Structure 1
């Protein structure tokens, strides 16, 4: 008989963290229902507003954000939240010995795919916070390296609604049973193949990439007659959750690199809401991550909405990318 998420968390996490994660997946189950109803409930399309990133918000972005805020606030162990859709943090209750967790999330990743019925998802990260005496959480409390995460993962809303997450002891998978509403374990100790013949990147931007990334992709495209000696396939869904989920299940490498069109930005994706949680999931599954300077999880955040270059997936490919970047930094 399959293990339920509630049973798994009762054994694997301390009660406060288990309660927070149960509240979060309850919200994701509600979002899953809305995603499936879509146009039937007239919740498709864009709003006239933009989020803090300057991106046009979809109706489902805002609805999903509100569902997560309301559901997770019920968890007694949660002190504060931060969302990709909000300018600043959302305090819930004072930090105490009991309320000692911070939650960050991208409520609906892959928004450009909502109206065309392609897989989208929710990404989350849980950080610890301490207090000598009861106090309000601050933005500074959130600015911790990804190594400090006590839990991280994502939910993909696809043909099945699937939760992939880690508590720091391997990566596990649960699938939502649409009949009973329970999350049932469908894989454990996931291992990403170290080698791959597949990569995910928006190749239309190739002319804007830094030389190490461009050279890496050119080598892949050269196929079996090139220096790699094998043919590669390219996949690109334009939903980080969907692309990373495929890589977690069967291997590959996902790249959203620095772009010369915005030279002063380290990258496009957000460190706290996207890169860090996905990097933790990948590393716990035997994969690797790199941001152009070092392992993603070692980066020191400087702001709540900091952007970074993202390269993650099969360890051998990430190592190859890292060596190419390091070589480019060496003096001629």
Structure 2
């Protein structure tokens, strides 16, 4: 009879991200290894940010930096740290010819003009929550470049539209660190095992519930919402739905993806075109939502069908369980 320790040692460690990518590579478009390596580069940067986030409170990485980004928003110290870490990882990886970041106004050329991909990213969403130990995240979107190889990337490489994403995902830094991504064939989640230094497959083939009872919206803006959005929120209250909003897009989206719910950031009187950025917030989360069976709309059309016109374009968004999004945009 096996001892308890022998039984425990017999349990499998699990499927690592590297092994999963290797086994799935045959399903990737143009599968020659570059996209696989790019996903590994993003995972590596995520591990580094996980380390930096876990130091918060112990070293001077929290709080505002005293500068503003291109959006006119106050930059947190960790915004800058995450931006530098991801840019460096993507440059060193060699698969990306250019990067678009929330923290920079223009395209960041990596010097790898032979790279076949471009990446749009929000390096650290919700970073102001670091000071109070609330979940934050990284959001990324990957496109296959359309400009000639060995030439500088241009605006056209980034303004292809959401349907042209070859992969998208996010990294959630919370009670555990998770990488969730899709290459178009389902959505899978990997939890970071600190003892091994590896992302382990923990959420295979995530399917968004068709319906839910959670709504996530900043009700402080209630009086600035359209009458239809106000009616929907009132109806959620009438049905005794659970209000869950922490001000970290990735955290709110992730909860609703797993449990069923809707995340709303509608247009307001102050931001009639919405507040969230289309290319590196709305597009990638809409991609994840659709590939898991959910839906994402700006209230009139599918998010992935919006034609982009500039790098930092904004959009309203209703994203999550299909039935809830349907009801919200018809309210």
Distance in 2 between the 1:270 and 1:180 partners? 35
Q: 2:23 aligns with which of 11, 31, 43?
A: 11
Distance in 2 between the 1:79 and 1:181 partners? 28
Partner of 1:57: 75
Question: TM-score w.r.t. structure 1 length?
Answer: 0.92
Q: How does 1:142-157 map to 2 (within 5 A)?
A: 142-157=158-173
Deviations 1:253-291 (A, max 9, x none): 00011011233xx10000011000001111111110001
Structure 2 gaps of 5+ residues are 1-11, 26-30
Q: Bigger CA drift: 146-155 or 1-10?
A: 1-10
- Give the deviation of 1:132 after TM superposition: 4.1
Give SS of 2:92's match. Answer: coil
Distance in 2 between the 1:81 and 1:92 partners? 7
Partner of 1:275: 282
Distance in 1 between the 2:228 and 2:92 partners? 46
Q: 1:107 aligns with which of 106, 123, 129?
A: 123
Assess if the C-alpha contact under 8 Å between 1:94 and 1:137 holds in 2.
Answer: no
Structure 1 gaps of 5+ residues are 224-230, 325-332
Is 1:181 aligned to residue 200 of structure 2? no
Give SS of 1:102's match. Answer: strand
After superposing on structure 2, the runs of 4+ consecutive aligned residues of structure 1 that deviate more than 6 Å are none
Distance in 2 between the 1:60 and 1:140 partners? 30
- Give the deviation of 1:189 after TM superposition: 1.0
Partner of 1:330: none
Question: TM-score w.r.t. structure 2 length?
Answer: 0.92
Distance in 2 between the 1:316 and 1:47 partners? 41
Assess if the C-alpha contact under 8 Å between 2:267 and 2:274 holds in 1.
Answer: yes
Q: 1:315 aligns with which of 300, 303, 322?
A: 322
Assess if the C-alpha contact under 8 Å between 2:63 and 2:128 holds in 1.
Answer: no
Is 1:92 aligned to residue 85 of structure 2? no
Q: 1:249 aligns with which of 233, 258, 261?
A: 258
Q: 1:260 aligns with which of 261, 266, 269?
A: 269
Distance in 1 between the 2:149 and 2:275 partners? 38
Aligned Cα root-mean-square deviation (Å): 1.2
Assess if the C-alpha contact under 8 Å between 2:34 and 2:95 holds in 1.
Answer: yes
Distance in 1 between the 2:212 and 2:132 partners? 29
Q: How does 1:73-222 map to 2 (within 5 A)?
A: 73-93=91-111, 95-96=113-114, 99-132=115-148, 134-222=150-238
